[in-house]
């Protein structure tokens, strides 16, 4: 495909996703401006990110640290907000603390403390979300709902991070109504943290196949890959 054609193609897809967000927001009485579109660019080349940036996209999500660091280096002339949306092992925290603006998959105090300690003093605190295992799936990442409040209370005052809210990847569901159930649980969990005095504002929920249900339940940040960049290998 020529670059012009590739650009047109991406413009069409990006506009379609933007339009879907506006439509879903309006259908559920939400302000479209309250929903941030995170473009998930894992396994896609830096050149695709640059095209999306030229079309006005500023927030990008990456899952694999080495791949992400290469793209960050290659695209450092652009004003991009980088979000780390993969699992975080202890040996990755330094790079994440130094190179990203957000981390979405915190499910242990130990990782949060390392990120806080390693965040450079001249940068704003790293925005983080706690990942919740919202459907109680065995062997899935995320903290159980029953343990969420304790973790949130433990990490929300760490100086190098800013606890922004919650993130989840629900189990696949066959219907829109069933998709809404898991998102509603995450939304209620955020409300209950707020009632405990933890000031947070972000629900990182909704992907290509369940974005509308997530918006219906209060998502403030949708993580969209396939619908923008096409299928991944």
Q: Which residues bind ligand PLP (CB under 6 A)?
A: 40, 42, 63, 85, 169, 207-209, 223-226
In whole angstroms, give the CA distance from residue 202 to residue 186: 11
CB of residue 218 to ligand PLP, shortest distance in Å: 17
Q: In the complex, which residue's CB is closest to ligand PLP? A: 225
Nearer to ligand PLP (CB atom), residue 40 or residue 148:
40
- Name the residue nearer to ligand PLP (CB basis): 196 or 209: 209
In this structure, are residues 40 and 225 in contact, taking their beta carbons and an 8 Å threshold?
yes
For ligand PLP, the closer CB: 158 or 221: 221
Q: How far is the CB of 129 from ligand PLP (least distance, A)?
A: 11
| Cβ closest to ligand PLP, residue 173 vs residue 208 | 208
- Cβ neighbors of 60 (< 8 A, separation 6 or more) are 38, 39, 40, 41, 49, 52, 80, 81, 82, 83
Q: Are 143 and 110 in contact (CB under 8 A)?
A: no
Locate tokens 């479209």: which residue?
A: 32
Cβ closest to ligand PLP, residue 63 vs residue 127: 63
| Alpha-carbon gap, residue 172 to 210, rounded angstroms | 9
Closest distance to ligand PLP from the beta carbon of 152 (Å): 20
Q: Report how far residue 211's alpha carbon sits from residue 221's, in angstroms, rounded to the nearest whole number.
A: 10
CB of 169 to ligand PLP, least distance (A): 6
Q: Least distance (Å) from ligand PLP to the CB of residue 233? A: 12
């Amino acid at each position: 495909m020529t670059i012009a054609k590739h650009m047109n193609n991406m413009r069409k897809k990006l506009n379609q996703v933007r339009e879907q967000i506006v439509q879903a927001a309006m259908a559920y009485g939400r302000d479209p401006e309250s929903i941030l579109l995170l473009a998930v660019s894992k396994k896609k080349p830096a050149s695709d990110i640059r095209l999306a940036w030229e079309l006005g996209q500023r927030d990008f999500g990456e899952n694999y640290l080495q791949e992400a660091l290469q793209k960050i280096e290659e695209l450092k002339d652009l004003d991009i907000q980088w979000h780390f949306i993969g699992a975080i092992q202890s040996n990755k925290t330094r790079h994440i603390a130094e190179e990203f603006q957000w981390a979405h998959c915190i499910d242990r105090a130990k990782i949060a403390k390392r990120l806080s300690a390693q965040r450079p003093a001249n940068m704003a605190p790293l925005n983080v979300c706690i990942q919740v295992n919202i459907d109680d799936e065995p062997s899935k990442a995320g903290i159980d709902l029953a343990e969420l409040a304790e973790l949130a209370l433990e990490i929300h005052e760490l100086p190098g991070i800013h606890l922004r809210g919650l993130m989840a990847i629900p189990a696949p569901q066959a219907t829109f109504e069933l998709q809404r159930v898991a998102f509603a649980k995450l939304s209620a969990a955020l409300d209950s943290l707020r009632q405990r005095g933890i000031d947070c504002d972000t629900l990182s929920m909704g992907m290509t196949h369940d974005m509308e249900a997530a918006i219906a339940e209060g998502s403030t940040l949708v993580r969209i890959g396939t619908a923008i960049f096409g299928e991944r290998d």
